Amino acid sequence: MALLTGAEVAKHNKADDCWVIVHGKAYDVTEFLPEHPGGTKIILKYAGKDATEAFDPIHPPDTLDKYLPKSKHKGPVDMSTVAVEKHEESPEEKERQLRIQHMPPLDQCYNLLDFEAVAQRVMKRTAWGYYSSAADDEITLRENHAAFHRIWFRPRILIDVEKIDMSTTMLGTPCSIPFYVTATALGKLGHPEGEVVLTRASHKHNVIQMIPTLASCSFDDIVDAAAPGQVQWLQLYVNKDREVTRRIVQHAERRGCKALFITVDAPQLGRREKDMRFKFTDQGSKVQEGQATDTSQGAARAISSFIDPSLSWADIPWFRSITKMPIVLKGVQRVEDVVRAVEAGVQGVVLSNHGGRQLDSSRSAVEVLAETMPVLRELGLESKIEVYVDGGVRRATDILKALCLGARGVGIGRPFLYAMSAYGQPGVERAMQLLKDEMEMGMRLLGARSIAELTPALVDARSLANHAAPPVDGLSQAVYEPLASPAQRPTATEKAKL
Amino acid sequence: MALLTGAEVAKHNKADDCWVIVHGKAYDVTEFLPEHPGGTKIILKYAGKDATEAFDPIHPPDTLDKYLPKSKHKGPVDMSTVAVEKHEESPEEKERQLRIQHMPPLDQCYNLLDFEAVAQRVMKRTAWGYYSSAADDEITLRENHAAFHRIWFRPRILIDVEKIDMSTTMLGTPCSIPFYVTATALGKLGHPEGEVVLTRASHKHNVIQMIPTLASCSFDDIVDAAAPGQVQWLQLYVNKDREVTRRIVQHAERRGCKALFITVDAPQLGRREKDMRFKFTDQGSKVQEGQATDTSQGAARAISSFIDPSLSWADIPWFRSITKMPIVLKGVQRVEDVVRAVEAGVQGVVLSNHGGRQLDSSRSAVEVLAETMPVLRELGLESKIEVYVDGGVRRATDILKALCLGARGVGIGRPFLYAMSAYGQPGVERAMQLLKDEMEMGMRLLGARSIAELTPALVDARSLANHAAPPVDGLSQAVYEPLASPAQRPTATEKAKL
Amino acid sequence: MALLTGAEVAKHNKADDCWVIVHGKAYDVTEFLPEHPGGTKIILKYAGKDATEAFDPIHPPDTLDKYLPKSKHKGPVDMSTVAVEKHEESPEEKERQLRIQHMPPLDQCYNLLDFEAVAQRVMKRTAWGYYSSAADDEITLRENHAAFHRIWFRPRILIDVEKIDMSTTMLGTPCSIPFYVTATALGKLGHPEGEVVLTRASHKHNVIQMIPTLASCSFDDIVDAAAPGQVQWLQLYVNKDREVTRRIVQHAERRGCKALFITVDAPQLGRREKDMRFKFTDQGSKVQEGQATDTSQGAARAISSFIDPSLSWADIPWFRSITKMPIVLKGVQRVEDVVRAVEAGVQGVVLSNHGGRQLDSSRSAVEVLAETMPVLRELGLESKIEVYVDGGVRRATDILKALCLGARGVGIGRPFLYAMSAYGQPGVERAMQLLKDEMEMGMRLLGARSIAELTPALVDARSLANHAAPPVDGLSQAVYEPLASPAQRPTATEKAKL
Amino acid sequence: MALLTGAEVAKHNKADDCWVIVHGKAYDVTEFLPEHPGGTKIILKYAGKDATEAFDPIHPPDTLDKYLPKSKHKGPVDMSTVAVEKHEESPEEKERQLRIQHMPPLDQCYNLLDFEAVAQRVMKRTAWGYYSSAADDEITLRENHAAFHRIWFRPRILIDVEKIDMSTTMLGTPCSIPFYVTATALGKLGHPEGEVVLTRASHKHNVIQMIPTLASCSFDDIVDAAAPGQVQWLQLYVNKDREVTRRIVQHAERRGCKALFITVDAPQLGRREKDMRFKFTDQGSKVQEGQATDTSQGAARAISSFIDPSLSWADIPWFRSITKMPIVLKGVQRVEDVVRAVEAGVQGVVLSNHGGRQLDSSRSAVEVLAETMPVLRELGLESKIEVYVDGGVRRATDILKALCLGARGVGIGRPFLYAMSAYGQPGVERAMQLLKDEMEMGMRLLGARSIAELTPALVDARSLANHAAPPVDGLSQAVYEPLASPAQRPTATEKAKL
């Protein structure tokens, strides 16, 4: 077949006749335009042109093959005939490139927060916006980390802590340390290779990776990147079309996934205003779109329209019927639902508020944990279910606090994304190593030689549910105009000016 | 009748012979001068001149017809003969105009606080001062919003939340969402059309509007602006002259108002120092007026001298006798008075501290709500009265918290004024739409499909009455001079200077 | 007697032969030098010269007559022969004078904190330092005001509050409002006329003034400044020499003082580091005085060496024997001592920590009040003693809170000093009027028509003893160096510089 | 023996042939290189050169004699032949020297925090980094001081406090005031003479000094610096080789040490990131060292590799067998371990978290004290053991609070290091004198005449365990990007630029 030329494709540059080039092939997306979850406008920007660069971070590579009918595949393009858009680098981008040149050497990062500091400097604003943003006033986002500071240690002394064993098992899988890489979307926003970077680093450190439904890489690419024997879990957004869900789950099980984490805190994906704000571009005129409040809501909304808000407890038996993988509910937020999860026969729960990205004012997972475990113990259900937490974990001391309070393990998401975005795989590996170093020291100083010795008596969590001083709500503070003392009277000069 | 000329009017430019022009007609206000609630000085500034621009935001258009005897109406003026004051635009005003030119497009406002940010930039200082100010140190003002952050959610998961129904009824009126536009004074300070802007936006979104006694528009104009079937309530400051009050109430009922909200927290209107401060103009010399502490106290005091401080529980039966509208007491601040309101046979209460504008150090309405509902339930009075709250509501999550704690609905005031002042009716409509969008998402994420499912179990409000970290008192902090570390000794150069 | 000439006096300008001129008379202070409580150095600065300006604010005018033997009085000086020191005005002083020129008109001060803001700008640094400083880290100083913000109102509505009566009696004296001007030292630091300014303003407003032992004016001058019938109280630092004390007390009683307030919280006057810091002057060389930690400790220490640290409960009967005035213990800080005061037969206590100037980390008076009154009620002692509080009162709402919690009245000190220092008597009068206006509005909005109606049910003080978020310790915060994120690597240019 | 020349030594400047000069003698450290706890790199920097200046602050002078075989001692060097490195003074160092020239005179330091402020200005960054840093987010570091502010005084009045006796005994030793100089490492970083400066100042004020294992001076130098009868204690890091430990302990006892403080909170020395950060030097290229997270971890790690992490309760009897000195466990952090310490037969415990340098999120010693003493009293063990606290003490009021809560005495470390670093011995002496002055005043104002009168009734510590508002975690706050209000639209000029 003769290659298409750029000129030929360029003719189809209108809403009612729209082709785009992706990875050297042309596609007719005219009919698909109104259905595009990310909106029409973003595609039209590339009508008749090469859209690869914008396409890649948001879509797994097999997207077009999967979702666009073969008849719309217009065939390969002679890329030498396609006009290369010359990106005039914006001043902002030039500054970012300069910041990248001068970023600190990796070994100057001493903790997980350091990676976040560096990532903030070197990531593109939109990528940073997508990763770092959270719901509404981002109060839960900050509470997630802040909650750990209301838990204090009660270390034991004079314990022989020469040998520290921080290994554990999670859902039957032995792992080197009780954290896993939790699922986060759109890895290619931060690094051109995307989630496989996390896969490789996880293998190096023998930690478990949870594969996200909304990965930039395709599911199979991520599984392929795993080493033999490396354990991965599947995070699942449940599709309105249950057959699609069944195929995804059973494919994952066949490919060797060892657990199914069903996200239950996202019947609708949250609005993250920081993310939306970063998309702002002056459109030249004052557009008063009135009711159209749901446009340009950032990457998250664009990619999630398939998620089923009707998912309910009634669906759990069906999930148990289609897979033998252990099932874990991700996003549980109250003790009543943990008890119900036991009754529903699932193997685990992740106490989580989705990194503060869903319902603002949700409590931190670690606070829900402190509410949950005494009840489970009282009901004799402690051993019936594994309880995980995620959100706000930045230090091994955070992990230790969660484990003392009864968690089986903790999930860590954003910090690894930041490490990856700033330094690639070596960054992620160093982040993991730092956690291991901190963990070893923390257990030693706490007088705990093994995970089993991390008990509630080692912490004082009495202030955990005390919310007398919640995180500051920035927007509200920004618009409050402080009271003023009486002004001096103007001088003669100042008066003359008036 | 021959038209008056500007020159003729201009002769009457003294305190003992004072005419002013309003909307093209001349009035002799000489005798009225000492009674003017806003003071003599402000009128004298316009003696013999056109006062329309200053008159309009503060007075409903029918004021002069109502309150000035016909004999003082001097007749229409040939406005072409009236010297047009040339306003030299102040540098401050020029900057404001520039800010208006560059204000963000409406669709960049993602939440109610965004409107406040924009309004702060584009409103006149005095208008901003009147709307945004509150009593004393404005601690209650900030507490009103801050209190919501001491309430945390306990969301339910795996509820089929595909369909969300946020409609409810308030005082028997069905409405699309459980908030109403509460009464706020002087709408024309923010927008030339005043309160009718809110009327039209309320209709568009099927929410109830409460008409303020102190509106800039006349009561009838606001009612006329309503669409057929649109529900409005009347907010009432009770006049010392009860006949005036009776006329107002019965007129409102005839015009179709569906409820009477009697303000009970304002026997005297609060002193708002920020508002007063904005009125400051250097008077050229150091005037030490000694005891005269009650001058220039801002718009609020000027317009409220008629309010009756003797209003008491004994008056309630009389109100019940003059109207069939449901009666609601607006401004209740303790559970004892809610119980008493039930006994008094009224249909509702609004827990409110008047937006922090009356007694500083009053508790937030939502804290009073948490005190109130358990008592009502214990006394079996829960269904005998509808309990509303207002103050500090900025997010749908705030509404949700109030409803979980037992409120029937919430009133929202300032945010709509800000939206109106910045963007007019489209602004108010967008603000309402944003609340609806937030509300739908909030209910979905909370696992509540209908208003009835919003129950106390969905929140953790144990820290609500914990005031260990109250809002900062700005003035006190401003005058405190922090301790200093020992100063370095001066260098040779510095010494030489001394 | 022939007048001395400046030249004659100027000869006596050495430590072993030291005369000074005060108010036109020469005094030989050679022998007195080592006993001067303020230190030798400050006198030697004026050896042979006119010391009046430095003498005045610190000493009552009758000091030299009282304490220096007649033989040392060298007689009147012909002041025309005394060389006038030409003060080269320092740049700092010039700026202060400029600030004074542009200070806001009095009617721009809307509350007590405004006077403090103005006073801070226009007072001399040393005077400001003496008035505003407090002990150690000034945590109690700030807690005094902050504590009021942990008390919240529970206002009653629908009370006929047309008439507000805020009059009360204190120790049998009727007064217009339940506050008094408490004793503060060295009034002439702030105003050339000193304490009599407060006397006159107190009369105008019918409030009681407490006369300080350490006044700049003489006791008799202050009494003489009172109008007929004006009530004054005496504040007493007890002298080691009880005869001196007896004379002071009995003289005060004869002159009409109506109560004796014995200061019991100052066996040693506090170290106020801000005050000390302001005295710093570079002495040209690095003086390492080793143990001499007690030099230049500010005005307070200089004037207080006579105070008896051995004062104890055993002395109370003696006081009761020498005067018929009611006795009040000023500076009580725990309920146990209030009960003991009742047993000791005194008529009142002032719960006070001396404005935070004595023991840092002392609790606020209002917190001690909340601890005290329930115990007194339980013991049936409530009516046996009048309980006053002082410290941190800035708003009428503060007064109202104290009265609701059971105080008979509150003392206010610094705010009147600031008003006096900035605006003289009109300032103090306006400050009092502002409090009255605030008080009237506060009672009206609280639904309390008289002092008797101010009851504990009107406040929620449950958070008062909650010290989870104490005032920030400024020095400690200043020396803490925050952690840093990894630094960017230097650019080529920066490297070149290194 | 002929002196070596600089040239001869300079030949041995490679990793496989490495000599260094220390105090005029050459040493062959080639074989020792890989074992150097501080790493190879730092030695190689001085290969073939004079290393004295870098060697001194980190190593006691007898280190080489003790640990390097005689055969490696190459003998004295003719120092006149050694090339003097010309230090080009860095701009940063020049600025520091300027700051030193202008440092405030000693008598301008009014409290312990003042010394810290001055030290921060005049110390070398690395020394400041080592002294001031703490573990992880330094939250425990700040909590240590902050905790004292949640304890409030309840002073007694009318006690005859003319005579104040603040003397006490600690472990049988009478001392002038209940604090001791606790052990801190590497004194020569702050002052060229090191720990002996503290020895001499301690003698002057009759306070006890605890000699650190990790002193810069040799143990014997410190003992030799003591005056006859001056009491010193030994702080011990227990060596993996118990014979080394036995020798140290028995040598100390022979030399007159009066107590043995075994550090039990440091099985591994903490990571202090601020300390590490200060060591950062750009190494010219981006070194991605991957797993090598344990390099350049600051002074602390370098000097502590000998410490035995297997130390346990089982070792206590052995310690009791090798010495007659009273044994105190330093670093106990929970009441259970205090009780166990009594059972183990030791004479005391120091409640301590090692100045916040070990496990971040550990509670303050004073909070553990408040947990401990009631339990001891209940168990009747109060008199069986002496309980000390250290960490965060900056004011005599802090000491008083600890003693009221039951402490026998408090340890103070960093403040004396800062005083020494800034002003040498006179600085330390003044710091001690200031504490004595504060203590005398504090006891007087508290109404306590002697240490025995410091009882729990004098404090209100109910908020001490309330952690609603923990210290801010700086790194986390630094990386959080606040939400923004909608941006203004660009002006024409700004657009042109874009």
pTM exceeds 0.95 for this model: no
Average pLDDT over residues C24-29: 91
Of C104, C109, C468, the CB nearest to A488: C104
> How many angstroms separate the CA atoms of A302 and C417, rounded?
64
Q: How confident is the model at residue C320 (pLDDT cuts 50, 70, 90)?
A: very high
**Residue B102 falls inside a structural domain:** no
φ and ψ of C410, to 5 deg: -130, 145
Average pLDDT over residues D187-201: 96
DSSP-assigned letter for residue A451: G
Could you read off the pLDDT of C406-426 as tens digits, one per residue?
A: 999 999 999 999 999 999 999
Known active-site residue A354: yes
Could you read off the pLDDT of A325-381 as tens digits, one per residue?
A: 999 999 999 999 999 999 999 999 999 999 999 999 999 999 999 999 999 999 999
Q: How many domains, in total, are found in chain D?
A: 2
Are C75 and C124 contained in the same domain? Answer: no
Q: Residues of A with CB below 8 A from B91's CB? A: 497-498
Asked if A91 has any chain B CB less than 8 Å from its own CB, the reply is no
- Coil vs helix vs strand at D63: helix
Question: Which pLDDT does position D297 carry in this prediction?
Answer: 47
> How many angstroms separate the CA atoms of B319 and B325, rounded?
10
pLDDT of C287 higher than 50: no
**Residue D452 falls inside a structural domain:** yes
Most confident residue range from C263-267, D79-83, D491-495? C263-267
- Coil vs helix vs strand at B262: strand
Q: Give the mean pLDDT of chain B.
A: 91
Query: What is the token pair recorded at A165?
Result: 């064993």
**Residue A74 falls inside a structural domain:** yes
Are B77 and B127 contained in the same domain? Answer: no
Question: Which pLDDT does position A289 carry in this prediction?
Answer: 34
Q: Which of C158, C279, C473, C477 to probe the B interface (max B CBs under 10 A)?
A: C158
Q: How confident is the model at residue A286 (pLDDT cuts 50, 70, 90)?
A: very low
Question: Which pLDDT does position A89 carry in this prediction?
Answer: 80
Q: Kindly list the partner chains of chain A, i.e. chains with 3 or more CB atom pairs below 8 Å.
A: B, C, D
Between A35-39, C442-446, C452-456, D335-339, the lowest mean confidence (pLDDT) is in A35-39
Question: Which pLDDT does position B228 carry in this prediction?
Answer: 96
Q: What does the DSSP assignment read for D464-493? A: TT--SSPPP-HHHHHH-----PPPPPPPHH
Q: Are A5 and A81 in contact (CB under 8 A)?
A: yes
Between A174-178, B293-297, C77-81, D229-233, the lowest mean confidence (pLDDT) is in B293-297
Are A257 and A306 contained in the same domain? Answer: yes
pLDDT of B74 higher than 80: yes
pLDDT of B285 higher than 70: no
Are B28 and B172 contained in the same domain? Answer: no
Q: Residue B153 and residue A287: Cβ atoms within 8 Å?
A: no
What pairs with residue A260 in β-bridges? A234, A327
Greater model confidence, A271 or C360 = C360
pLDDT of A56 higher than 90: no
Question: Which pLDDT does position D292 carry in this prediction?
Answer: 38
D 409-428 residues inside an 8 A Cβ radius of C: 423, 426
Q: Are B151 and B399 in contact (CB under 8 A)?
A: no
H or E, element range at B351: strand B348-351
**Residue C22 falls inside a structural domain:** yes
pLDDT of C447 higher than 70: yes
Q: Give the mean pLDDT of chain C.
A: 91
- Chains A, B: CB contacts within 8 A come to 186
Question: Which pLDDT does position B265 carry in this prediction?
Answer: 95
Q: How confident is the model at residue C385 (pLDDT cuts 50, 70, 90)?
A: very high
CATH number of the domain to which C29 belongs = 3.10.120.10
Q: What is the CA radius of gyration of chain C?
A: 25
Between B418-432, C173-187, D273-287, the lowest mean confidence (pLDDT) is in D273-287
Are A434 and A370 contained in the same domain? Answer: yes
Q: Residues of B with CB below 8 A from D118's CB? A: 485-486
Are C425 and C323 contained in the same domain? Answer: yes
The ipTM value here is 0.91
E strands, A359-443, are 386-390, 409-412
Domain boundary among D64, D81, D98: D81
Q: How confident is the model at residue D287 (pLDDT cuts 50, 70, 90)?
A: very low
Greater model confidence, C353 or D272 = C353
Q: In a 10 Å sphere around its CB, with 0-12 CB exposed, 13-18 middle and 19+ buried, how is residue A213 labelled?
A: buried
Q: Are C118 and A486 in contact (CB under 8 A)?
A: yes
Are B54 and B162 contained in the same domain? Answer: no
**Residue A488 falls inside a structural domain:** no
Are B53 and B127 contained in the same domain? Answer: no
pLDDT of A98 higher than 80: yes
pLDDT of B59 higher than 90: no
Q: Residue D363 and residue A460: Cβ atoms within 8 Å?
A: yes
> How many angstroms separate the CA atoms of A92 and B301, rounded?
51
Question: Which pLDDT does position D294 carry in this prediction?
Answer: 44
Greater model confidence, A63 or A425 = A425
pLDDT of A280 higher than 60: no
Domain boundary among D55, D81, D107: D81
Are A55 and A129 contained in the same domain? Answer: no
Average pLDDT over residues C391-417: 98
Asked if C125 has any chain B CB less than 8 Å from its own CB, the reply is no
Are D307 and D443 contained in the same domain? Answer: yes
List Cα–Cα distances, C376 to B320, C71, C385, in angstroms: 46, 56, 9
Question: Which pLDDT does position D300 carry in this prediction?
Answer: 53
E strands, C257-359, are 260-263, 327-332, 348-351
Distance from CA of A361 to the nearest CA of C (A): 22
Average pLDDT over residues B476-493: 86
Of A104, A468, A469, the CB nearest to C486: A104
Most confident residue range from B163-167, C272-276, D494-498? B163-167
Average pLDDT over residues B397-423: 98
Question: Which pLDDT does position D306 carry in this prediction?
Answer: 81
Q: Give the mean pLDDT of chain D.
A: 91
**Residue D114 falls inside a structural domain:** no
Question: Which pLDDT does position B289 carry in this prediction?
Answer: 34
Asked if B1 has any chain C CB less than 8 Å from its own CB, the reply is no
Question: Which pLDDT does position C231 carry in this prediction?
Answer: 98
Are A137 and A51 contained in the same domain? Answer: no
DSSP-assigned letter for residue C470: P
Q: Residues of C with CB below 8 A from A110's CB? A: 486
Could you read off the pLDDT of A445-477 as tens digits, one per residue?
A: 999 999 999 999 999 999 999 999 999 999 999
A 200-259 residues inside an 8 A Cβ radius of D: none
Question: Which pLDDT does position D223 carry in this prediction?
Answer: 98
pLDDT of C35 higher than 50: yes
Q: Which amino acid is at C68?
A: L
- Per this entry, what is the length of chain D? 498
Q: Residue D484 and residue A446: Cβ atoms within 8 Å?
A: no
- Euclidean distance between the first and final Cα of chain B, in Å? 78
Question: Which pLDDT does position D83 carry in this prediction?
Answer: 82
CATH number of the domain to which D206 belongs = 3.20.20.70
Asked if C92 has any chain B CB less than 8 Å from its own CB, the reply is no
Between A466-475, C177-186, C267-276, C485-494, the lowest mean confidence (pLDDT) is in C485-494
**Residue D422 falls inside a structural domain:** yes
Question: Which pLDDT does position D363 carry in this prediction?
Answer: 98
Q: Residue D394 and residue C337: Cβ atoms within 8 Å?
A: no
Could you read off the pLDDT of A305-316 as tens digits, one per residue?
A: 788 999 999 999
pLDDT of A287 higher than 60: no
Average pLDDT over residues C52-68: 83
- The closest alpha carbon to D135, from A155, A181, A451, belongs to A155
Question: Which pLDDT does position A387 carry in this prediction?
Answer: 98
Question: Which pLDDT does position A281 carry in this prediction?
Answer: 42
- Which residues of C have a catalytic role annotated? 237, 265, 354
Could you read off the pLDDT of D416-464 as tens digits, one per residue?
A: 999 999 999 999 999 999 999 999 999 999 999 999 999 999 999 999 9
Q: What is the pairing mode between strands C208-211 and C232-236?
A: parallel
> How many angstroms separate the CA atoms of A131 and A275, rounded?
8
Per the structure, the complete domain to which residue B216 belongs is given by: 119-285+297-479
Q: What is the pairing mode between strands A459-460 and B13-14?
A: unpaired
Q: Are D468 and A467 in contact (CB under 8 A)?
A: yes
Q: Which of D333, D361, D366 to probe the A interface (max A CBs under 10 A)?
A: D361
Q: How confident is the model at residue C165 (pLDDT cuts 50, 70, 90)?
A: very high
**Residue D359 falls inside a structural domain:** yes
Average pLDDT over residues A181-209: 96
Of C105, C466, C488, the CB nearest to A102: C488
Are D274 and D379 contained in the same domain? Answer: yes
Known active-site residue B354: yes
Asked if D94 has any chain C CB less than 8 Å from its own CB, the reply is no
Greater model confidence, B343 or C89 = B343
Question: Which pLDDT does position B498 carry in this prediction?
Answer: 54
